[in-house]
Copies of this chain bind each other. A is one copy, B any other.
Amino acid sequence: MKTLIEQCRDGKIPRPVRQIAAGEGVAAAAIAAAVARGTIVVPANRKRTVARLCGIGAPLRVKINANLGTSPDCEDDAAELSKLKIAVACGADTIMDLSVGKDLARTRSAVLKHSPVPVGTVPIYEAFIRAEKKYGDSAGMTPPEVLAVLEEQAEAGVDFFTIHCGVTRKNTALLRRHPRFLGMVSRGGALLARWMQRTGQENPFFSRFDDILRIARRYDIVLSLGDGMRPGSVLDSTDRPQLAELKLLGKLAAQAVRAGVQVMIEGPGHIPLHHIRRNIALQKKYCRGAPFYVLGPLVTDIAAGYDHIAAAIGSCVAGMYGADFLCFVTPAEHIRLPDEEDIKLGVIASKIAAHGADLARRNERAWEQDRRMSAARKVRDWPAQAACALDPEKFAAMRRQSRPQLDDVCTMCGKYCSMKMQGEDSERA
């Protein structure tokens, strides 16, 4: 059976492409052409029906991902399902189950069952956790076991995989020669690097990339090439190891697209504001326009507790310059596993960033949303303003908590509302 890329190359307009075209108001043929050349991806495993499909890549709207998942300290599936519900309700376009709890397969199965949006995973986590159980130590893990995990997760319906194929022996050696402030902060990257060091073997996501492409092809899974060498501090931003990995990911991405496999590239991380433009430009160049999936980026390291804001700044700017997919960051980042409120705040902050980027990318539908809000603001129609807001309930609740004496204004200005004064004056005129 042909993959989405292959169908589009054959000049077909597959059904997912038509659905996305209708939802975004973009010509289906343009989307199909972008899928064929690898600049738009549509995460949708053949084995699963995704209720809310999404396309990722210009000229589509910037998409956002929310991360869920258990950890050794929090293994409550019900809590994760509740977070899933909140994330989707607040506007997450995809979710990733990053569970590293003992029963992560059970969690994933529940998430796949309940998620209306595409689901991504980082399969190396399960491979390591299985090896720990089987051998008492993750160093026992073998490359065929890694492939087996990919195969099982694919069969279970996962829509996209993060694979850290850039954490190669060559690149880890480069990292040792170019020391950094915080080394390798990627969890999957650090696990792999440790395994490579202990076993002396090459990273299986790199050495068995062809096998992985075969699995991805079979299920038409999107590969998300992970940035194990991403900077985890603004002090490490845009250094040689980061860029060496990005170049390698670009080569592997080209190989994937040639094989008919959809692929996107993961990006940093912690990047000071004045480096962001260059980061995106390099990604677009090295990776020939493959969709760029940025993890933030955070523009400072000192905002812990409010990292959703540091990330919203970086994400919005990255989106303006061409990042296509924003991974949310919650206020809990660097401190703890996020709770439900953290998830909500993370998704909303990321939506603001994506929307701000869409305006800067001249997306007509995004502009239409601001037009509607401003029209409601002009006539001081408070329910209409709430309806136009990214979080209508929050708007309505804040309004309820603070009612003005005059019903058509707010308690900030009262009768001195500039909108009201102008309205009265134009009636008088």
Contacts and interface: CB of A to CB of B under 8 A. Distances in A.
A382 to B, nearest CB: 9
A422 interface: yes
A337 interface: yes
A196 to B, nearest CB: 11
A414 interface: yes
A413 interface: yes
Contacts of A356: 272-273, 299-300, 310, 313
Number of chain copies forming the complex: 2
A199 to B, nearest CB: 13
Given A182-B419, A306-B390, A422-B184, A374 B405 contact: no
A336 B412 contact: yes
A316 to B, nearest CB: 5
A389 interface: yes
Given A190-B422, A312-B313, A391-B305, A299 B359 contact: yes
A404 interface: yes
A54 interface: no
A173 interface: no
A194 B426 CA distance: 10
A393 to B, nearest CB: 9
A194 B419 CA distance: 12
Contact of A309 (B189, B194, B312, B317): B312
A300 B359 contact: yes
Contact of A197 (B413, B419, B425): B425
Q: Is the interface of A mostly helix, strand, loop or mixed?
A: helix
Contacts of A422: 183-184, 190
Contacts of A425: 194, 197
Contacts of A419: 182, 185
A115 interface: no
A378 B360 CA distance: 37
B234 A395 contact: no
A399 interface: yes
Interface of A: 71-74, 100, 125, 181-187, 189-191, 194, 197, 232-235, 272-274, 299-306, 308-310, 312-313, 316-317, 320, 331-339, 348-349, 352-353, 355-357, 359-360, 367, 369-371, 373-375, 377-378, 385, 388-391, 394-395, 398-399, 401-402, 404-405, 410-419, 421-422, 425
